[in-house]
Structure formats: C-alpha cells, structure tokens
A and B are shown apart, each in its own frame.
Chain A
Amino acid sequence: MSERVTNILLVGVGGQGILLASEILSETFMLAGYDVKKSEIHGMSQRGGSVVSHVRYGQEVFSPLVPEGEGDILFGFELMETYRYLPLLKKGGAVVVNDLEIPPSSVLMGQENYPEGLAEKIREKFPDFLLVDGQGLAREAGNLRAANTVLLGAVSRRLDIAESYWMQALEKMVPSKALDVNRKAFQLGRELQG
C-alpha cells in the first residue's frame, strides 16, 4: 500500500453526474483500506456551471482540497472544462477525458467560439493522455447513461486498486437494475489502452 497521497480531480459541467462518479471513487478507496477525503461545491452546479471535485486517498489525508499543481490524475467529463483545470495537475500528470464538447452560454448565443483542437493541446502538455469515447462505449454497453462508468473504468487502470473493490463500490452505489450495464461499461473503459 503506497504511503503517499494520490490526488484525483474530476471536472466537467453541472448535471453530468460528476458527484456520483466521485462518490464511487471514494467508496472504492475506502473499501481498499485507505483514508479518503473529497471536496466539491454544490449549489449552483446543477445549473450548468463549471464543476470540480477533489478526491484524495492514501495512508493519511489532511486537506480535502488537492493543492494546486499536485493533481496526479485529471478526470475530465468535458473537453473545455478539462483544459480549464490543467493547472491543478502536476507535471507529468495523467489526463483521462471524455470526448465531449458542451458549449457554454456565450457559444450557444454565437458570441464566442468553442475552442478548437483542445484534445491535441492537452496531449501536448500532458502526454499521458487518454481520450475516451464515453458515449460510444456506453451505447455498446447497453445504455448511453453509463458513459461516466466507462470513464471510471478508464481511470481505474491508472490506479493500483484491485478490481474487486471497484466492483464492490459499483454494487453499492449503482441501482441493481442498472448494474449489469454498468459492469460492462466499466470493463470497456478499463480495457482501453492509453
């Protein structure tokens, strides 16, 4: 069991299910015997604002916030928000991001353009980069709504946590009727080569 604290940041847009994903991560780490802390801001998030959730685990975790520039993994649910939070990552940190663009209001109204080529720009800065077709793989697993579980699977490969703990956490956090689809979605994500 590693001594140091591992820092994960989940970022995206309010309403994407980021809080549930961060709960599943935290549950997994607790089951694996680690100390865990997580932090995020609720409230405005459901109204389509930018969301960031911090999850930390290790032998003993003090701050619930990941100190800036110490993130090990940036787990992005949307491209522009992932790019926005890159400064939270440490040099050489890993990025796992959903291949999804959600335009903010200024872009919807035609006042600004959604920035182009973000995936490539992220890869230039952080070569340990995995772009995930969350929606496509979720459809393959049997339900579009399981995109977040695909992403969780992709992130799980980068963490030294036995698969059984991930499965236990999914069983606890996901409604039983959706469990099979989510197990499959998780495996599809976990099998991706970064």
Chain B
Amino acid sequence: MREILSGNEAIARGAYEAGVKVASAYPGTPSTEILENVIFYKEINASWAPNEKVALEVGIGASFAGARALVAMKHVGVNVAADPLFTLSYTGVKGGLVLVTADDPEMHSSQNEQDNRNYAKFAKVPMLEPADSHECKEFTRLAFELSEQYDTPVFLRTTTRISHSKSIVTLADPVCDLPVPALVKNAAKQVMLPSNARVRHPLVEERMRKLSSAANTMAVNRMEVRDTKVGIITSGVCYHYVREIFPNFSTLKLGMLHPLPMEMIREFAAAVDRLFVVEELDPFFEEQIKAQGISISGKDFLPLCGELTPERIRKAFAGQGIVVDSATAHEEQSSAVSLPGRPPNMCPGCPHRGVFYALKHLNAYVTGDIGCYTLGFLPPLSTMETCVCMGASIGNASGVVKAVSEEERKKVVAVIGDSTFCHTGINGLMDMVYNKVPATVVILDNRITAMTGRQDNPASGHTLSNEATHRMDIPELCRALGVRHVRVVNPFDLDETETALKEEMERPEPSVIITDKPCVLVKRVGVFQRGPLYVVDTEKCTGCRACLKIGCPAIQWHPNDGVRGMSHIDPTLCTGCDVCRQLCKFSAIGRAK
C-alpha cells in the first residue's frame, strides 16, 4: 500500500508501525502535524503538553514503564526540554524513546535557526536524519530499535523541507509482541543522584563507542560511488539536492548524523579525487571529518546561514569551478515591475488588533512573545519592541522596568498569548509578583494556540483528541500567583481596553489584563461567533483614513482616481468585530441594513 505523506505524517505512521504507546509534544512549526496525525492511530495515547520539557518528561515516564514513547518538538523546543534530555542520556530507556527535533533552516517560522545536530554530540545521544517521507517512517522504526538495543534515547532530526514535503511512502504492518508496560523498579538506573549518575556516565561513553563502530555497517549510511572525480558527503534533503544537480557525482549519504561512520568516510575519501561536504547551517560533519585528518571542503564556499537550495548549491559549486551541464542551468530573468510585498497579517476580526491599537495610542513599550500577536510588530500597528523566545515577554518586562526611571517604567507592558502563558509565561509572572515589579501584563486569551494552526492547550478546555477537559482559569491562576489587580476586558471595545491599560500602566504594582475574545479561526461550535456585517456610508465618509490605522484586511482604500477617496469594507471578509466603527469620527461606519 502506497500513500503520499508529508514527513510529519510519515513519522506518525512510523510511530504506529513501531508500536508506540505514548506520544507527547508541544506544537511548533515545522513539527506540529506529527501529533495531529498520531491521533488517527487509536493504539497511541497522544497528548499536547504545556511545553516541551513536560512533553519529554511524559515520554521518559512512559519509557521507564516499558512503553515505546515518541516526543516531538521544533528545534527551539529542545532548548526547553534540554534539562531532562541530558540526564535521560545517562538513565537510558526501558521502552524505546525517540525525540523528534524539527529544525527550521531559513527560519521560515522561527526566531533562530540553531542547528540541533549539535545537541546529539552535546547530550551524547545518537541522531538519525531522513531524506524523504519514506525514510521518515523507516527511520522512526529504526530509531526505536536502536533506542532499545543501545539503551539510549534517539534523536530523529528533520528540517522544514523534510517535515513539510510530501513523497510516496510504502506502508507496512505494525510490529507485534512488544513487552507489556508495567511498573518495574530500577531505582539505581533511574534515580540520578551523584552516586548513581557516576556509574551511568561511563556506560554512556561505552554506548557511544559501540554506536560509532556499528555506524560503519549501518544500512542508513550509504556510499554510492559513481564518477570518482568528485565525492560529496551529505544528509537529509541536501542529499536529494545534490543528486538533482550532480547526478553523476559520488555521494556518501549519512542517515545517522551522530556518531559518524568514520571508517566509511575514510574509505569514501580514498575513493574520490575531490571531497566535499554539503550540509545546512553549521560545519557539523566538516569539523569532525577534518579532525580525523581528512582533507575536505565545505563551509569555505557554502553558506553558514539559511537553508541550502538546489540553486544555492549550484552557484556555490560553480564558484569552485565545478559547473554542471548547462541544459539544466536556468536563465536569469528580471522582473520589470516592482511589486508590493505581501507580509502576513492578523485576520479580519482578530481580537489582538484593538489591543495593539490601544497600546500604540498610549505609546507603550511592549515586550512581545511568540504567537500571532507578534504580527503587532508590523505596520500599521508597529507596537512591539522585543520578541525573544516562548514566555520571555514577562521576564523581559520585569528587566526593563528594573533598569529604567520611575516615569518610563509606566510605559512597559508585556503581551503574551494563552498558550504561551501556559508554556513558560507563568514563571515570569510569579517572578514579577515575588519581586514586586510594577509592570503590566496583557494575556491575549484567544482560547487556542493560533499561529501553529489552532491547537488546544490547558486554557482551551479540550485535549488533542478533542475531548472536553478542565479549562484552566487564567484570572484565578493570576490571583493565586499574587496579582492583586486582574481585569478581564473585551478587546473589541477600544475605550474599555484603553482605559484598563491606562489605569494599570499607572499603577505602581504588578497587574494583569486578560482579553477574552476567541480567535476567528477556532472551528469548535459556539466559540467564535460572527457579528453583524459593517458597511461604509459613502455620504458620510470623508476619506480621513482613520479606519485604515488598524490594518484590517477587510477594509480597503478606494482612491477613486484621487477624487474623494474613501474606505470600503469587503463583505466577504468582515466578521463584525465593530472595532473600525469606533475609529470613525464621522459615524460613517455602521451595521449593514
């Protein structure tokens, strides 16, 4: 049976075929669809965790109980999960544990492009990297086998181009006869007190030595000798780029990135005249290969930043005098018209829009966070000064307040979404109260993890499998943390929102304002409700453009050839949020009759 699957769908299928019992993750592009597809296999207990650290800890528990466990996250999520990861390397596993790290070279949807291959070396954990969807499935299965065979967690590393590309996968039946999970006590292996950990560390080193040796005969590392003039060592999607551009060159495709098959690499080096390494981001292979005294070239001509593409590889090699058949080389074309850009925008009716409008009006210094509301940085709202990592806004605000004058500190406002607040924002708020920092926090509770594509979270009231569950009470939680001034406002009421912000910004105490309107994309019945349609009264519109200041995609400026231009509301896009009506001083915007 063959199906076209994305890398993420194939990893989910691989987990099913490998007999995984427990899967946990926090959504993050490009990893999100793994768990969203795992839920189609009812054999697997799959759930969203509030953050990646918890996701990995859930996986570790399942593994210790003897179940195979899959944990998935984006590259920066591994930073959050790094604490349990490094010690898990010492404890090893009982049931296999595979940690998927989905890296994002080019930062299509991320705040940095860290190369998580370095984590494999740092944490002393083997890492596999598939090059297409079929390999995503096969390598997931293999990763579980290696995990149990070598008593180690195993990384499965993808990049955006693997996670989100689709190719044909041949399906297989799930494995059977896996041991039944049960409570088995093995404290010396799982309680990492210094005395126990000292016993484990040499075992970790021994395991990596064994894997190093086994790597040379693993089928996932594959030497393909063709024309021996040029040999290229590569992995992942870059393998396919190299095959596309240089179909005749010899390749060494690395399926296991750590530890490297050094004997195989040496053999390959000896078989070719010129040796290159094509790898995205860091010179991870190159440095280790050079350390073996093997002459190889890579990052001296290939970029360190951004993803590689067929064009970028072709151009870089051309600079080395290695030019391919011109039949495939393309002609440069010049675009005669310079086009307006098309940046992403908050949706029509987005509950964040009015909040940023009010913050801008108050000239607030906004520390931002990760979510759709980061788009508040873009014009015309342009009201965000920081965005560092998940949950950072509150700590950032505290730091800014501590540094600046008493007058300036009133301007400092942290904005954070519901999912991000659950992820790692709560600790920041705890710190703010504990240390008496007089900043204002706005929690934009839109009832969903919106930017990654509407995933549920502890404050949404539903689980990954769409089962109803306890909905975390954000106002009560804030009060329990010690915030004395907690207000819930309607972000579609600009006066109410601005008044609340103004009062809380003035207050020399920590305070929290929570907005309570849902994301317009929430599909669950009864959460988001469309309002009445709004129209512009062409008699009253003076063309003052005040309504354009919120950047709503439903409002369009019609210049009318320079003669009395005016705004127009697209009836197919308007959700009836009412914000534009409040901006119009001439009462030209109102409900459609």
Taking CB atoms and an 8 Å cut-off, the chain B residues in 247-284 that contact chain A are 247
Q: Is the CB of A109 within 8 A of B551?
A: yes
Task: Give chain B residues whose Cβ lies under 8 Å from the Cβ of A42.
Answer: 29-30, 33, 109, 164, 453
The tally of residues in A whose CB lies under 8 Å from a CB in B reads 54
- Chain A contact residues, majority secondary structure: mixed
Q: Is the CB of B166 within 8 A of A26?
A: yes
Taking CB atoms and an 8 Å cut-off, the chain A residues in 53-83 that contact chain B are 61-65, 67-70, 80-81, 83
Cα A39 to Cα B161 in complex, Å, equals 7
Q: Is the CB of A70 within 8 A of B330?
A: yes
Taking CB atoms and an 8 Å cut-off, the chain A residues in 18-76 that contact chain B are 23, 26-27, 30, 35-50, 61-65, 67-70
Q: Is the CB of B241 within 8 A of A63?
A: yes
0/1 string, B125-163, CB within 8 A of A gives 1: 000000010000000000000000000000000001100
> Is A110 on the interface with B (CB-CB < 8 A)?
yes
**Contact stretch, chosen from B48-56, B85-93, B552-560:** B552-560
Q: Is the CB of B340 within 8 A of A39?
A: no
Taking CB atoms and an 8 Å cut-off, the chain A residues in 147-177 that contact chain B are none
> Is B432 on the interface with A (CB-CB < 8 A)?
no
Q: Is the CB of B165 within 8 A of A67?
A: no
Q: Which of B245, B328, B340 contacts A80 (CB 8 A)?
A: B340
Q: Which of A14, A65, A112 contacts B344 (CB 8 A)?
A: A14
Taking CB atoms and an 8 Å cut-off, the chain A residues in 104-145 that contact chain B are 104-110, 112-115, 118, 121, 125
Task: Give chain A residues whose Cβ lies under 8 Å from the Cβ of B342.
Answer: 13, 48-50, 80-81, 104-105
Q: Residue on B with the closest CB to A87?
A: B333
Cα A75 to Cα B457 in complex, Å, equals 37
- With contacts A39-B164, A121-B337 known, is A67 near B330, CB below 8 A? yes
Cα A39 to Cα B167 in complex, Å, equals 9
0/1 string, B456-484, CB within 8 A of A gives 1: 00000000000000000000000000000
**Contact stretch, chosen from B309-317, B400-408, B440-448:** B309-317
Cα A114 to Cα B243 in complex, Å, equals 41
Taking the closest CB of chain B, its distance from the CB of A144, in whole angstroms, is 10
Cα A30 to Cα B4 in complex, Å, equals 8
Q: Is the CB of A62 within 8 A of B340?
A: no
Q: Is the CB of B553 within 8 A of A108?
A: yes
- With contacts A105-B553, A108-B555 known, is A63 near B244, CB below 8 A? yes
Task: Give chain A residues whose Cβ lies under 8 Å from the Cβ of B177.
Answer: none
> Is B208 on the interface with A (CB-CB < 8 A)?
no
Taking the closest CB of chain A, its distance from the CB of B22, in whole angstroms, is 26
Q: Residue on A with the closest CB to B110?
A: A43
Cα A83 to Cα B335 in complex, Å, equals 8
Q: Is the CB of A36 within 8 A of B311?
A: no
Q: Which of B132, B330, B451, B548 contacts A108 (CB 8 A)?
A: B548
Q: Is the CB of B452 within 8 A of A104?
A: no
Task: Give chain A residues whose Cβ lies under 8 Å from the Cβ of B551.
Answer: 105, 108-109
Q: Is the CB of B109 within 8 A of A41?
A: yes
Taking the closest CB of chain A, its distance from the CB of B169, in whole angstroms, is 10
Task: Give chain A residues whose Cβ lies under 8 Å from the Cβ of B108.
Answer: 41, 43-44
Taking the closest CB of chain A, its distance from the CB of B318, in whole angstroms, is 13
Q: Which of A26, A64, A105 contacts B343 (CB 8 A)?
A: A105
Task: Give chain A residues whose Cβ lies under 8 Å from the Cβ of B164.
Answer: 39-42
Taking the closest CB of chain B, its distance from the CB of A174, in whole angstroms, is 16
Task: Give chain A residues whose Cβ lies under 8 Å from the Cβ of B521.
Answer: 46
- With contacts A30-B4, A43-B108, A67-B330 known, is A110 near B565, CB below 8 A? yes
Q: Is the CB of A43 within 8 A of B452?
A: yes
Task: Give chain A residues whose Cβ lies under 8 Å from the Cβ of B553.
Answer: 48, 105, 108
> Is B372 on the interface with A (CB-CB < 8 A)?
yes
> Is B197 on the interface with A (CB-CB < 8 A)?
no
Task: Give chain B residues whose Cβ lies under 8 Å from the Cβ of A90.
Answer: 330
> Is B380 on the interface with A (CB-CB < 8 A)?
yes
0/1 string, B59-78, CB within 8 A of A gives 1: 00000000000000000000
Cα A87 to Cα B347 in complex, Å, equals 30
Q: Which of A43, A46, A67 contacts B311 (CB 8 A)?
A: A67
0/1 string, B355-384, CB within 8 A of A gives 1: 000000000000000001001000110000
Task: Give chain B residues whose Cβ lies under 8 Å from the Cβ of A40.
Answer: 164
Cα A39 to Cα B108 in complex, Å, equals 13
Q: Is the CB of B451 within 8 A of A67?
A: no
Cα A46 to Cα B247 in complex, Å, equals 37
Cα A107 to Cα B160 in complex, Å, equals 31
Q: Is the CB of B166 within 8 A of A103?
A: no
> Is B525 on the interface with A (CB-CB < 8 A)?
no
Q: Is the CB of B330 within 8 A of A68?
A: yes
> Is B387 on the interface with A (CB-CB < 8 A)?
no
Taking CB atoms and an 8 Å cut-off, the chain B residues in 4-48 that contact chain A are 4, 29-30, 33
Q: Is the CB of A68 within 8 A of B311?
A: yes
> Is B237 on the interface with A (CB-CB < 8 A)?
yes
Q: Is the CB of B241 within 8 A of A109?
A: no
> Is B194 on the interface with A (CB-CB < 8 A)?
no
Taking the closest CB of chain A, its distance from the CB of B404, in whole angstroms, is 33
Cα A109 to Cα B556 in complex, Å, equals 6
> Is B545 on the interface with A (CB-CB < 8 A)?
yes
> Is B345 on the interface with A (CB-CB < 8 A)?
yes
- With contacts A37-B132, A104-B342, A115-B337 known, is A30 near B557, CB below 8 A? no
Taking the closest CB of chain A, its distance from the CB of B573, in whole angstroms, is 10
Taking the closest CB of chain B, its distance from the CB of A8, in whole angstroms, is 13
Cα A55 to Cα B339 in complex, Å, equals 25
> Is B336 on the interface with A (CB-CB < 8 A)?
yes
Task: Give chain A residues whose Cβ lies under 8 Å from the Cβ of B243.
Answer: 62-63
Taking CB atoms and an 8 Å cut-off, the chain B residues in 295-349 that contact chain A are 309-311, 314, 328-333, 335-337, 339-347
Q: Is the CB of A91 within 8 A of B331?
A: yes
Cα A68 to Cα B311 in complex, Å, equals 6
Q: Residue on A with the closest CB to B346?
A: A47
Q: Is the CB of A39 within 8 A of B451?
A: no
Q: Is the CB of B241 within 8 A of A62?
A: yes
Taking the closest CB of chain B, its distance from the CB of A40, in whole angstroms, is 6
Query: Which residue numbers of A lie inside 8 Å of B, CB to CB?
Result: 13-14, 23, 26-27, 30, 35-50, 61-65, 67-70, 80-81, 83-84, 86-87, 90-91, 103-110, 112-115, 118, 121, 125
17 A-B pairs (CB sep. < 8 Å):
A14-B344, A23-B166, A26-B166, A41-B108, A41-B109, A48-B553, A49-B343, A64-B167, A65-B309, A67-B330, A81-B342, A86-B335, A104-B341, A105-B345, A110-B565, A115-B339, A125-B333
A83-B339, A113-B559 given. 11 additional CB < 8 A pairs? A27-B4, A37-B167, A39-B165, A42-B33, A47-B346, A63-B237, A67-B310, A87-B333, A90-B330, A105-B343, A109-B548
Query: Which residue numbers of B lie inside 8 Å of A, CB to CB?
Result: 2, 4, 29-30, 33, 108-109, 132, 160-161, 164-168, 237, 240-241, 243-245, 247, 309-311, 314, 328-333, 335-337, 339-347, 372, 375, 379-380, 451-453, 521, 545, 548, 551, 553, 555-557, 559, 565
Which 6 residue pairs are nearest across A and B when measured between Cβ atoms?
A: A69-B330, A110-B557, A47-B344, A43-B109, A64-B165, A49-B344
